[in-house]
Structure 1
Amino acid sequence: MTLFTRLFAAAFLTVFAAVSASAEADTVSDICSEAEARYVELMGHPSAEAAGVTVVTMYKYNFCPARITVPVGTTVRWVNVDKRTSHSVLVKNSGEPESDRVFAGENIEFTFMLPGPQDYLCGPHWEVQNMIGRVTVVP
């Protein structure tokens, strides 16, 4: 393989990776917009207006948003807005068991009392669908 061919291949792969990452971000953004619309349909108000909690929706094998930052003592409410899929939440290293599965319109809550990053996942969908999120808790 000539130097030109190697350089061309490297440049192509770099551009392809950037385009793929951008398309994936657009797809997740679209999914999260759909999730918010479903939330409003089910709950009658935007997720930002949920009293006393921070809402994360579960939709099409995604947490929306997948990464949040909250102060210590915040309760996160995960709401399943999928029509036909159940989800669960397991906050890793919390000492708490995985939640029961919830269906459309149902929710799971967890109050974060320790500062630092805390990863969570959907028990049935983290491995195959990469349904993983993170809550960063600040003092």
Structure 2
Amino acid sequence: MKRLSILVSALLPLAAAFPVLAEDDGNAAICAEAEERYVSIFGSSSADAEGVTVVKMYKYNFCPAAVTVPVGTTVRWVNVDKRTSHSVLSPAAGMPESDRAFPEESVEFTFLTAGSQEYLCGPHWETQQMIGMVTVTEE
């Protein structure tokens, strides 16, 4: 019985880590779906967008949740949801809240200052934790 107790004690920290792994897997699956929706809407990969870095908004997630871009880069947030609208704002970057982007619409912002700048979805950051990060680097 003592060996079982020791084994359970050793495994408990690992069990606590599994929800995090499951959440990461869930985000990866959601982001894969978001890319599929993007391709079905626009006919090409989001990586093929010229002159911008694309972040998809889907199922209360930013995909990818974090991007790194050089100063002067325009980030385009594209709503690939079917029914939900989103907005984007980043007070740290001087970006006021955008108008709502309805399905298949987008919002753009050009980052002119280096640093890590959190952004969020106005209507969903608090209830859905819809928050992302842009790290802007000097060229």
Distance 1:13 1:127 in 2: 30
TM-score of the aligned structures, taking structure 2 as reference length: 0.91
Q: Describe the shift of the 1:78–1:12 C-alpha distance in structure 2 as closer, same or farther (beyond 3 A).
A: same
**Structure 2: distance between partners of 1:111 and 1:7:** 55
State how many pairs are aligned.
137
Counterpart AA for 1:73: G
Unaligned runs of 5+ in 1: none
Runs of 4+ in 1 over 6 A off after TM superposition: 4-9
Aligned with 1:17: secondary structure? helix
2:92 aligns to what?
Answer: 93
Q: Please give the alpha-carbon distance, in whole angstroms, between the structure 2 residues aligned to 1:10 and 1:121.
A: 39
Residue 97 of structure 2 aligns to a residue in which SS? coil
The structure-2 alpha-carbon separation of the partners of 1:110 and 1:10, relative to structure 1 and needing over 3 Å to count, comes to farther
Normalised to the residue count of structure 1, the TM-score between the two structures is: 0.91
Match of 2:75 in 1: 76
Q: 2:126 matched to which residue of 1?
A: 127
Q: CA RMSD in A?
A: 1.8
C-alpha deviation, 1:13, in angstroms: 3.7
Indicate yes or no: 2:79 matched with 1:106: no
Q: Deviations over 1:74-104 (max 9, x none)?
A: 0000000000000000012233320011111
What are the Cα deviations for residues 31-55 of structure 1, in whole angstroms up to 9, with x where unaligned?
A: 0000000000111110000010000
Deviations 1:87-134 (A, max 9, x none): 000012233320011111100000000000010000000011000000
Kept after mapping to 1: 8 A contact 2:85/2:101: yes
**Identity in percent:** 62
Unaligned runs of 5+ in 2: none
* Distance across 2 between alignment mates of 1:86 and 1:9: 46
